[in-house]
Structure 1
Amino acid sequence: MAGDDDFHRKDAIKSGITAAAALGSTGFLLAAVQNALQKQNLGAMSVFTRSGGIIAVMTIGGGAYGFTQTAMANLREKDDAWNTATAGFVAGSILGLTTKKMPVVLGLGAGFAAWQGVLSVTGGRLRGWTDRLDEDDFDTRIAMRENKRRPIEETIAEIGEGRGIRPPGYEERRRERLKEKYGVEINPVKATVE
């Protein structure tokens, strides 16, 4: 609900399965692209036999991330950056397990934790958080438009009349120009019958 700051528990298993499915399908896509770029043609099943590790790591890492983030939030009863940082550490550590070296496991875990924590603190934006989160986007756009709007007289003076731009008095000035240049007087045609 809008304005409701109370914590609401979420299903950690459902979050883990959803994240595992999303990242597992992304891993399958990456494995398929990697398989398609190989010089040897080993068939369609080589996506699983040759590049199956990518699919497994991304599925397990994504599931662990989703589960850890939601479980941490449920245990602490808070939605903040610590949940995503902890989940990032777990996911990064799973990625590092493929190297079988403990410094790499801890380094990737710390790197992913820092990355996810900072991204969560900044509101999911790479450019940082905004000061006006409560302000409506429509009001902001209207204010920006009013600041940048120029008077019509200034625009007409800059680009000139004609080409679909017809300010007040345009027809009279046009008739005078045509009479001076060609000597022809043009009478306006009325669209209504009297």
Structure 2
Amino acid sequence: MIKKNFTNDKIKLIYEFNPSSPLFARVASILIEEGSILEAIKILENGTKQYPDYPSAYFILAIAKAYTGNEKEAIELINKGNSFINSNETREHYIQVIKEIVEERDSLKDVKKKAIWEEEKSSYVDSIEDRLEVLAEQLSKARINYVPEIDSQTEIEIPEYKGKKIISETLAKIYESQKNYKEAISIYKELIKIHPEKTDYYKNKIKEISEIIDTGLV
């Protein structure tokens, strides 16, 4: 590994003092390995103007273009480089290299999309929490201001929710404000598993609610 790095540095140094050297293609190849794609393309485009019949330079430039997403131009450069040597085997080799680069780029895009989705999902969850906070406040006010009619036998039927149970501190507070103490305790117990760092806080909430139940103020 040390020998390879020394060789690469020496080649780059020679090119630095003599930009007209045919070593430009080797320097560009080193830069591609280091991830300096745009710098490599600049060197290759200048080099192919000075050495227009240098097939390897076109193949390396094709690889660099593929890394920037220019697949069509990369194929054209492979065909141009191959026109000097007429080797189907060489052409197919570089076509395969370009194909692998494109597949790699696409897989990286998928990873990026997933990361964006995770961020959006997190924002969505935060949005739900915000809406639950507002709902809790509205329910609390509704309980204070609501006065039932005398002799009214009408009960409000609440449809049963059959979806996945939402576990959140806000939901526990809603149950608590509605005096659904058993449900609130159940949520706080689940929250201890999800957020162990807040165990003491949730245990105190469970204790407070249990005391309310024990005193018969339900």
Bigger Cα Rg? 2
Higher RCO (C-alpha under 8 Å, 6+ residues apart): 1
Whichever structure has more helix as a proportion of its residues is 2
